[in-house]
Structure 1
Amino acid sequence: MIALVIVALVVSALAPIPPLLGLRSPTARRVAAGLGVLGVAVAAIAAAETDPVTGVARGLVLVLGVTAAATGAVALVPLLFDIVRAEDDRGPAPGDSDPDTTDPDSTDPASATVTTPLRGGRLIGVLERTAVAAAVLAGWPEGIAVVLAVKGLARYPEIRAAHAGEQFIIGTFGSVLWALAVAGTAHLALY
């Protein structure tokens, strides 16, 4: 069973390669995110059915767990942004009154719409997921709070712009939840 855990974590870690190579279409993101999620799901089921891993396999699970946590959301987070954009494109339902749908004041720079990801988001996300997974696997869950605090403080000036805060929250939640799922799966195989 441990071989299945390792193979599934490899699939999950390698799933985002097409988007990293430039295939950034929504279909490529869906396939990559689906393979990543499938890999983690299979690894979790197999890890639940196996004894705690030891030796070289233990090292492989640790390395692959952190790697899959770091790389897997490279396709998943942009897919979450696609879902949000699709929701925004539909607009409010008839009868809904949302004060946030009014036209922004063009003289206020903080109300300008952010149409591109926050600068450096992909690299910051990889580092964030690596740190979260390492903290969980090291048995230091407080490290998650440290990572999120540092990220929030560093991004604070940027997330004050319209829609940047929403993008920050969606990206961070998707990223951290992915890292926790993968690290939890690796932890299940290890203990």
Structure 2
Amino acid sequence: MTALWIVLIFAAGCLGGWPITAGILKLAKSRSVRAVDAHEMGAQTSPDAARPDLAALTPTPEACPPPAQEAGVLRGGLLIGMLERAGVVLAILSGQPVAIAYVVAIKGLGRYPELKAAPESSERFIIGTLASMLWAAAVAAVAKVLLL
């Protein structure tokens, strides 16, 4: 593989993953993907509302807890994501896919204190990590199949 191809693969794997990951995180945050919360369930009328035995089980909006706060953005995510994708691409191109486990472990251990302090960020962390790594793995696997 020539040096130019390697640079292009790394650029596609590292830089191309940023808009993909950002788009998936935006999609995950959208109203169409979020789970229906108790407020929305309580506001809807159900066919069983006429039955007194089931009407008592339907939550009222007043009894519902307030909606969860939005997950915060973890600092350094853009740079960490690029390094993570570079590690995945390097692991696959060098024939050492087990090294991806090291990348996951390092990222998880490095983020653990922040995720423990702000558990609402953990879903965003998982979605971003999976989207980022899947992009990098796909780019590297396709490049390896086509160029080697």
Q: Deviations over 1:4-57 (max 9, x none)?
A: xxxxxxxxxxxxxxxxxxxxxxxxxxxxxxxxxxxxxxxxxxxxxxxxxx5xxx
1:148 aligns with 2:107: no
TM-score by length of 1: 0.58
2:7 aligned residue: 63
Q: Does 1:162 align with 2:125?
A: no
Q: CA deviation at 1:117?
A: 1.7
Q: Distance in 1 between the 2:109 and 2:34 partners?
A: 33
* Distance apart, 1:166 and its partner CA: 0.2
Q: Give the structure, 1 or 2, with the largest relative contact order (CA under 8 Å, sep 6 or more).
A: 2
Q: 1:118 aligned to 74, 80, 85, which one?
A: 74
Q: Is the 8 A contact 2:115 2:121 kept in 1?
A: yes
Q: Distance in 1 between matches of 2:21 and 2:69?
A: 19
Q: CA deviation at 1:90?
A: 6.2
| Alpha-carbon offset, residue 183 of structure 1 | 0.4
Task: Decide which structure has the larger Cα Rg and report it.
Answer: 2
Q: Percent identity?
A: 41
TM-score by length of 2: 0.73
Q: 2: distance between equivalents of 1:114 and 1:120?
A: 18
Unaligned runs of 5+ in 1: 1-53, 105-111
Give the alignment's Cα RMSD to 1 decimal. 2.7
Partner of 1:102: 65
**Cα distance in 2 between the residues matched to 1:85 and 1:67:** 27
Structure 2: state its 5+ residue gaps.
45-57, 59-63
In the TM superposition, residue 114 of structure 1 has moved relative to its aligned partner by 4.7
1:139 correspondence with 2:95: yes
Tell whether the 8 Å contact from 1:62 to 1:186 is kept in structure 2 after alignment.
Answer: no
